[in-house]
Amino acid sequence: MLACRVTPTPAPHQKNNAVHADALPPSGVRPRTASEVRLGLVTMRPELFARALRMTRSATLAEDVVQDAVERAIRFESSYETGTNLRAWLNQILFSVFISRCRRSRRERNALDALTADPCAWINPEYETPTMKSLSCGLRRALDRLPAAYRSAVVLVDVEEVTYKDAALRLGVPPGTVMSRLHRGRRMLAEMLGGTSDLNLAAA
């Protein structure tokens, strides 16, 4: 007669323990606070509006930029690292939204075409292109204060919309260097447009 081998079935509490153990985050990983970004958006919205107003020179446009920035921040809140500089993160989103709106504007699009032949026209104070005239004074001053390497990266990627690879070929540097310069340039612009003074750009 064949003997039947019965495999013991874990008790219900053992099953639950196994599930909970698998669901635990890895050791040392700090759980993310889902409400941190949303809370920051509420407390910093007046500050974001003031910055947008300096860039757009229009209360209506500033409100639109802030609203788009809020929606984008909520959509990508999982990419924010809890405990880091939320203000700087939101400033970069705000500036990115502003640049995107400039691209969509027909007036800006026509003006940006003038930069195709000479990307440095943006940063040459003696070269008054339609683009420079259409930008707010605050943004122009901020661009003038950027180190040349960072300005070039911002112009090529954010204005001309070229790829990192093409920008690297034009500038004669690796794509990783372009990405690093672009990140720093955007951060500096966000800080300057946010009213930060005494920013030591040369040391950045």
Average pLDDT, the chain: 70
Distances (CA, A) of 136 to 11, 41, 60, 156: 69, 25, 15, 19
Residue 129 host element (H or E): none
Residue 75 host element (H or E): helix 59-75
Structural domains in the chain plus CATH codes: 35-104 (1.10.1740.10), 105-199 (1.10.10.10)
Residue (of 73, 134, 137, 66) closest to 105 by Cα position: 134
User: Per residue in 113-152, pLDDT tens?
Assistant: 544 444 444 444 433 444 445 556 666 677 778 888 888 8
Q: Two tokens at 19?
A: 């599930």
Q: How confident is the model at residue 169 (pLDDT cuts 50, 70, 90)?
A: confident
**Measured distance CA(163)–CA(101) in Å, rounded:** 19
Above pLDDT 90, what percent of the chain? 8
User: Per residue in 10-53, pLDDT tens?
Assistant: 554 444 444 343 433 344 444 444 478 899 899 999 999 998 88
Q: How confident is the model at residue 159, as a pLDDT? A: 63
Match 């929606």 to its residue by tokens. Answer: 71
